[in-house]
Amino acid sequence: MIYKRSSALFAEAKKYIPGGVNSPVRAFKAVGGDPIFVKEAKGAYLYDEDGNKLIDYIASWGPMILGHAFEPVINAIIDKAKKGTSFGMPTEIETELAKLAVSMVPNIDKIRFVNSGTEACMSAVRLARGYTGKDKIIKFAGCYHGHSDSFLIQAGSGAVTFGSPNSPGVTQGTAKDTLLAAYNNLEEVSALVHANKGEIAAIIIEPVAGNMGCIVPTDTFIKGLRELCTAEGILLIFDEVMTGFRLGKGGAQEVLGIKADIVTFGKVIGGGLPVGAFAAKTEIMNQLAPDGPVYQAGTLSGNPLAMSAGLAMLTELNNRPEIFDSLAKKTEFLHEGISKVLNKKGVPHQINRFGSMISVHFTDEPVVDFESSAKGNNDRFNSYFHGMLNQGIYLPPSAFESYFLNDALSYADLEKTIKAVEKLSF
């Protein structure tokens, strides 16, 4: 495929935007080459500035679960935009979306809307600290919770791509209050908790990780976290920015059967528009201003465009729960097809999958945490990525990212993807 216009647009962008992109992973630094500039998208397909049609496996990093330009969502945005785009005042639709979200997700009573997943996770940690009166948090190597200072301590995805997970600009004071553990390692978490007895406000985790590839928690690990937090008076925060309303109506809490104390959302809850949210039981949420002392605010929080898109999206998912099973089956089909081809070619690999999230790792060892994910053959992944792209398949441009399937993908699309793997030389 030819990408002359994309390359020209990238060269122009670099004159005015740092790195030519507004989010680092888009720059293709991990895989080499110039990024693809998208002109439009519909259903399961992207159409780039060079006129190429690509099967999309990132779905805007998750939110386009029903496919791009899903008509009910687009119509809701258009109708609302005609009445004004932002007021900085309360609107009825905020309550409508809040009521629907609370009805779909277990173990939450109230929800507050913000503008991004980063803001949601940052606010959730502040709330946890305010509620418990403690300062420290535990996060997991390879989990990404946005670019707030507290979280850029061995983060995944874009941070790993550049080999500098500890970003300059994060102070030593912030770093000392962030304790780091290995994913799926309950013993390590327990040791940290007991070494910092009475000082830990919260443990924050991607319940199914998506920023070191798709990493599934073991049953012992995730249940053990819940038991440990309960015993030690620590709040368990589930970062469901990726998994919320994607793995099921109630997200990872429902699918894993684990109750978190605070849950963060993004992606799907705004129908693809900039949005985030955090939610918990009334006792915890009432600590937020104006009811309580923990301050959080935002002029664009709950803006009518994002709320209308989110309401249309969540209404569709609530009314059609069979979507989650359908997506899981498509993901299983893709998993089995790719694995069969790679086995036939004798290519060492691991494929991790949960619901509609999946990742391919070029290693012969199980991928269960950041360390094992980092052992993958990046040169082979880069060759795989570009080989698939040249056949019209758009995969995440990093070995440390999960794929996200969307409902518009057909089995013909999946079969074309599997056949594209067959044509590759490893």
Catalytic positions, please? 144, 239, 267
Residue 370 DSSP SS3: helix
CA distances (Å), 318 to each of 273, 291, 399, in order?
A: 19, 30, 32
* Burial readout 127-161 (b: 16 or more C-beta within 10 A, e: otherwise): bbbbbbebebbbbbbbbbbbbbbbbbbbbbbbbbb
Rounded Cα–Cα distance for residues 62 and 416 (Å): 21
CA distances (Å), 165 to each of 14, 66, 80, in order?
A: 23, 33, 40
Rounded Cα–Cα distance for residues 411 and 232 (Å): 48
Assess contact for 119 and 270: CB atoms under 8 A: no
Q: Taking each helix axis from N to C terminus, what angle separates 92-104 and 304-319, rounded to the nearest 10 degrees?
A: 30
Tokens of 333: 């089909």
Residue 271 DSSP SS3: coil
Tokens of 190: 């327990």
* C-alpha Rg value of the chain to the nearest Å: 21
Rounded Cα–Cα distance for residues 330 and 94 (Å): 33
Beta-strand relationship, 136-140 and 200-205: parallel
Q: What are phi and psi of 364, to 5 degrees?
A: -100, 5
Chain center to CA of 379: 25
Beta strand ranges found along 43-155 (DSSP E): 45-48, 53-56, 110-114, 136-140
> What letter represents residue 81's amino acid?
A
End-to-end CA separation in angstroms for the chain: 20
Q: What are phi and psi of 200, to 5 degrees?
A: -100, 120
Tokens of 97: 């979306």
Q: Taking each helix axis from N to C terminus, what angle separates 186-195 and 219-232, rounded to the nearest 10 degrees?
A: 20
